[in-house]
Structure 1
Amino acid sequence: MISTFSLVLVIITGISGIFWGIKQLCTIIYNHNQQKKIFFKKSNDIYQQSKNTYSLAISYCSKTSEFISSLFPILLLVLIIRSFIFEPFRIPSGSMMPTLLIGDFILVKKFVYGIKNPVTQKTLINTGHPKRGDVIVFKYPKNPTLNYIKRVIGEPGDKVIYNIITKQLTIYPDHINNIKYIQPLPITYNNISPSNFIQIFNSDANGKVNSAFIKTKSQENNLNGIRLIQTTESFNGMEHNILTMIPPGDQNLIKIYDQHTKHLISEWLVPIDEYFVMGDNRDNSADSRYWGFVPERNIVGKAIIIWMNIKKQEGTWPISIQMNRIGKIQ
């Protein structure tokens, strides 16, 4: 699995590094010839030879090479930060609502799960592993050119059960190594209430149904759509909010999602070195329930903070910056 952007960045940094090295060599030759000029200033022949040598060397230091070499320290710094420390991402979809909204710009801590080769993504130094509840960015297993962001639900060896009617998870930790494990992980669901998010459905010219999310200022606004339900899910000593389109326990609307009707209660056994992930917008997330597990080698890093949110309605201008979105990711 090769990261094309990282490969290009490494190549550009390497080229600028070569020009930087040439510049340093030119500087050394220049300083050397200046010393020779002083020492042999009484000998015109030797001085002329020294001058010609310098002229030949300085010819390699054109304005173009000077500019390229000046970029090397900046490119090297960007390469180090982006490859091993932090990398920025923009949230393009609503699958992680309400934790992350469309237009959020986040920082991902890369070294928390290991130091990796920036091109091949092979782990060079192991520094840790994802934990349940972590929000991670990873290469989509079915198309590694795409970056996905989801919440870790199941660690390697876990048995994960999801009930679409109650909207609740049941997790048996390390089910593979603890065959007689009886007690599931304590998971609680509180504060079930209507959210400020409404899902609107529209049909395009071909009759395909698309959906969009609208955030209202109050729960009383009536719009032509379905108001999502917000619930506080708690496990691993941390809390986060999730959204569901169908209220927990309501079977009247269950047929909206045909893909779920065959398995109202599904379970998965997470393989070793892989993870089970889900979006916080549980009824509007393409995640491990549909395409499988995330290999550890695909994981880019842990999302830690929202540093900017730029909101732009389709067909409108200008954009607006939502300062209240800036902060730590839960």
Structure 2
Amino acid sequence: MNFDFSLVLVLVTALAGVLWLLDRLMLAPKRQQAVKDAEATAGRSLDERERHALLRQPGWADTARSMFPVLLVVLVVRSFLYEPFQIPSGSMLPTLKIGDFILVNKYDYGLRLPVTNTRILANNDPERGDVIVFRYPEDTSINYIKRVVGVPGDVITYQDKVLYINGQPQPQTLLAKLPPSRPEQLLLDEKLDGEAHRIFRDVYRPVINGTWRVPEGQYFVLGDNRDNSKDSRYWGFVPEELLVGKAAAVWMHWKDFFSLPDFSEVRQIN
């Protein structure tokens, strides 16, 4: 079972808020009354030490009061503005590497409620060439990242490792053969609607040919590591309701636990 951080964050924030309100609305007035009663009994005003002892919050209430604003800010930013993700696989090489930490723009495709992912405010729609994060249609507890190549109404053809959109081949330019002596992989520049990005193609991996018409409200996605990506060619389209956001930037690379974080590759994602 996958760890649902959004659900945990919502529950913890709600619990902190409830405990804070419980103390503020019910227990704090009782502490104030205790001060008044003590002063009436003593026939004098209590000194600062005595007042502090009677007004002191329980430990759980003080923790809730301190943590609730912080948790609320994190929840709002993460749910409606930007959310961090880590790239776990090589399906988006060479654009994104394993260990890249990215920021995902949560509001570009409309505001959505945390946990349920229900859109409450429409904004832009994904365009060809966008790198998007979405919930995997076959297991919505898992997040995937791929590039949009087909929008509603498009006819997508993948033939002999060349992408066709509505019958038009998308230009590919060879940049390098890897390794140069006995190449097993090709680095190419591919253009979608005139916008360039880089892809990998394996020399010996069998090709997957097919044609798909993108339904209304859904998207066709591919990995930039074309022969090492499980994408729409295998499991179909991405429904609009499963969109999480648009991948905006790489802010850190951390190869593994035993290496140091690398901030030298900060960049926008194209």
Settle same-fold status: TM greater than 0.5: yes
Partner in structure 2 of residue 21 of structure 1: 21
Please tell me whether the aligned partners of residues 88 and 98 of structure 2 are also in contact (alpha carbons under 8 angstroms).
yes
Query: How far apart, CA to CA, are the structure 2 residues paired with 1:265 and 1:119?
Result: 36
Q: 1:237 aligns with which of 188, 194, 209?
A: 194
* Equivalent residues, number: 262
AA at the equivalent of 2:24: Q
AA at the equivalent of 1:287: D
Partner in structure 1 of residue 93 of structure 2: 97
Query: How far apart, CA to CA, are the structure 1 residues paired with 2:19 and 2:65?
Result: 5
Q: How far did residue 189 of structure 1 move?
A: 1.6
AA at the equivalent of 2:20: W
Is residue 311 from structure 1 mapped to residue 268 from structure 2 by the alignment? Answer: no
Match of 2:215, SS state, is coil
Query: How far apart, CA to CA, are the structure 2 residues paired with 1:23 and 1:236?
Result: 58
Q: How far did residue 161 of structure 1 move?
A: 0.6
Structure 2 residue runs of 5 or longer lacking an equivalent are 46-50
AA at the equivalent of 2:213: L
Match of 1:267, SS state, is strand
Structure-2 change in CA distance of 1:158 and 1:47 (3 Å)? farther
Partner in structure 1 of residue 170 of structure 2: 187
Match of 2:108, SS state, is helix
- Describe the superposition over 1:122-145 as per-residue Cα deviations: whole angstroms up to 9, x where unpaired: 111111211100000111100111
Query: How far apart, CA to CA, are the structure 2 residues paired with 1:321 and 1:227?
Result: 30
Partner in structure 2 of residue 265 of structure 1: 209
Q: How far did residue 302 of structure 1 move?
A: 0.4
Structure-2 change in CA distance of 1:192 and 1:44 (3 Å)? closer
* Length-normalised TM-score, structure 1: 0.71
AA at the equivalent of 2:164: T
Q: 2:223 aligns with which of 279, 287, 290?
A: 279
Query: How far apart, CA to CA, are the structure 2 residues paired with 1:265 and 1:15?
Result: 52
Query: How far apart, CA to CA, are the structure 2 residues paired with 1:32 and 1:281?
Result: 68
Match of 2:126, SS state, is coil
Question: Considering only aligned residues, what root-mean-square deviation do their CA atoms show, in Å?
Answer: 3.0
Q: 1:72 aligns with which of 65, 68, 71?
A: 68
- Describe the superposition over 1:218-269 as per-residue Cα deviations: whole angstroms up to 9, x where unpaired: x56x8xxx631011011223210000012xxxxxx4xx43xx4xxx631000
Structure 1 residue runs of 5 or longer lacking an equivalent are 49-53, 173-183, 199-218, 247-252
Query: How far apart, CA to CA, are the structure 2 residues paired with 1:32 and 1:114?
Result: 49
Partner in structure 1 of residue 48 of structure 2: none
Counterpart mapping for 1:102-141 below 5 A: 102-141=98-137
Counterpart mapping for 1:146-165 below 5 A: 146-163=142-159, 165=160
Query: How far apart, CA to CA, are the structure 1 residues paired with 2:95 and 2:241?
Result: 25
Partner in structure 1 of residue 11 of structure 2: 11
Please tell me whether the aligned partners of residues 87 and 110 of structure 1 are also in contact (alpha carbons under 8 angstroms).
yes
Is residue 295 from structure 1 mapped to residue 239 from structure 2 by the alignment? Answer: yes
- Describe the superposition over 1:73-130 as per-residue Cα deviations: whole angstroms up to 9, x where unpaired: 1110111011111111111111000000011000000111111111211111111211
Q: How far did residue 322 of structure 1 move?
A: 3.5
AA at the equivalent of 1:193: A
Query: How far apart, CA to CA, are the structure 2 residues paired with 1:135 and 1:151?
Result: 4
